[in-house]
Amino acid sequence: MKIIHVSAECYPVAKVGGLGDVAGALPKYQCNAGLDAKLVMPMHRTNFLYNHKWENVFQGRAHIGTYWFDFTIIKEKSNKLGFDLYLLDINGLTDREKVYGYGDDNFRYLAFQIAVVHWMTQWTEKPDIVHCHDHTTGFIPFMMKYAYEYNVLRDVPTIFTIHNAQYQGQFGWDNVGWLPAFDPWKSGLLEWHHDINPMASAVKNAWKVNTVSEGYLQELRYNSNGLEALFEYEKGKCYGILNGIDTQLWNPATDSFLENHYNIDDFVAGKAANKKVICDRFGLDINKPLFSFIGRLVEEKAADILPDAILSCMYLLKEQCVFILLGSGLHETEMQLASINGVYPKLYHADIGYDEALSHLLYSGADYLLMPSRVEPCGLNQMYAMRYGTIPIVRKTGGLKDTVKDVGDSGWGFCFDRAVPEDVIYSIGRAIELFNHPEEMKKVIHRGMAINHSWENTVQQYLELYQSCKT
């Protein structure tokens, strides 16, 4: 079976969050399982591009509205990622350092999608499945079905995976001319709430849709940034498939970002040594429980409640815990978290920025990982934390609800209901109590490390989804 994934991110080429991790792993595990999976993404100007060798595989010319553009597709020569990786370059549109965050993102990602579809029409053999990820690829199912120019692809099944429904990429009908000419009777299949909405369009037009956890799929029917009625209406073709994690890349026994390695049978010394690396580096107190946070500092992650929760903890829990935070995002939250640096020099450090190496060190050396998220489609952090023997403290939402069971029910984490400082503080209090009972804590850690979140389990579910398009 030939599958082409289309994604804006793919680790280690370019990653902003979980989409990058998934796109870098799922095709690899599909290839390992005997499928022929490939991935195409925009040629962002990141280090990976400059540090690898490429061959030209396609040159084409397409148009977005009246703007004609040339594009080039190159393929990585060494099969570094374990699958065929293609980068698509459009001069002036994809040649940027960041993946998102430009004023013309809607325009440039639509140009990217048009170029991808154009390229596929030139393939001698059609793909068996076109697998699109998130709104930056959301017009592809519509274009393949209803754009006159791409008519030869209308029978090719499309799958749309929703990693995050908060971001939808909508724009006004005044720009409908950006889309290739299509059957005008079908224009309703592009629309949501009077806008052209690629997220909604993908849900309407893809053959099958899935979210990255069952819990998130249920939530979307009452909380999906305006698309609730759509998810209710389309529920017959929507599925929840929990993400896996790349257990080769995320392995405390071999992780190249770590100085001290360990495994499930012998984790105490290795974790303690990595905690020491963190505490030495940031001048933190090693004898107290170390609470970490890693992630985008945005509302969805409830990063805005952290300053209040942390300051209250210092007071209410009598400075019995240490915090280390890594993230970037909303300016106001960044400033608030950074402003606590220096107030409790041995108990708190916030690293504002993106740092892949530090994230691995924190997953391994911290005692706990905080995830108070308001919305969490799957959440990979808690799974990485469990694999590295760090106990997750999570709000019961989306994928967090599906993957973390409370210590009170013989589980491997702490769960709470509301994204408010009080619930975070209460859970931190419970975690301190566990820290003071090391033998009990070891059992909890062991239970978390024993869970297998490998992609191998998930690949089969995707295969069944693909096969269901034929029946």
Residues that bind ligand ADP (CB under 6 A): 17-19, 21, 164, 294-296, 326-328, 354-356, 359, 378-381
Joined tokens for residue 150: 């791409």
Cβ-in-10-Å burial (0-12, 13-18, 19+) of 437 comes to: exposed
In the complex with ligand ADP, the residue whose CB is nearer, 295 or 448, is 295
Angstrom distance (rounded) from CA 433 to CA 431:
5
In the complex with ligand ADP, the residue whose CB is nearer, 18 or 244, is 18
CA angle 210/215/221 to nearest 5° reads 75
Q: State the minimum distance, in angstroms, from the CB of residue 458 to ligand ADP.
A: 14
In the complex with ligand ADP, the residue whose CB is nearer, 332 or 464, is 332
In the complex with ligand ADP, the residue whose CB is nearer, 20 or 180, is 20
Q: State the minimum distance, in angstroms, from the CB of residue 8 to ligand ADP.
A: 12
Residue 246 CA to chain centroid, in angstroms?
13
Q: State the minimum distance, in angstroms, from the CB of residue 307 to ligand ADP.
A: 17
Tokens 């402003």 appear where?
339
Residue nearest to ligand ADP (CB): 18
Contacts of 181 (CB under 8 A, 6+ apart): 147, 148, 149
Joined tokens for residue 52: 């690898």
Handedness of CA 264, 31, 45, 43 (dihedral sign): negative
Q: State the minimum distance, in angstroms, from the CB of residue 423 to ligand ADP.
A: 20
In the complex with ligand ADP, the residue whose CB is nearer, 18 or 215, is 18
Angstrom distance (rounded) from CA 166 to CA 220:
10
Q: State the minimum distance, in angstroms, from the CB of residue 464 to ligand ADP.
A: 23
Q: State the minimum distance, in angstroms, from the CB of residue 18 to ligand ADP.
A: 2
In the complex with ligand ADP, the residue whose CB is nearer, 90 or 258, is 258
In the complex with ligand ADP, the residue whose CB is nearer, 7 or 205, is 7
Greatest C-alpha distance within the chain: 68
**Is the peptide bond prior to 377 cis by the omega test (within 30 degrees of 0)?**
no
Angstrom distance (rounded) from CA 248 to CA 246:
5
Q: State the minimum distance, in angstroms, from the CB of residue 300 to ligand ADP.
A: 7
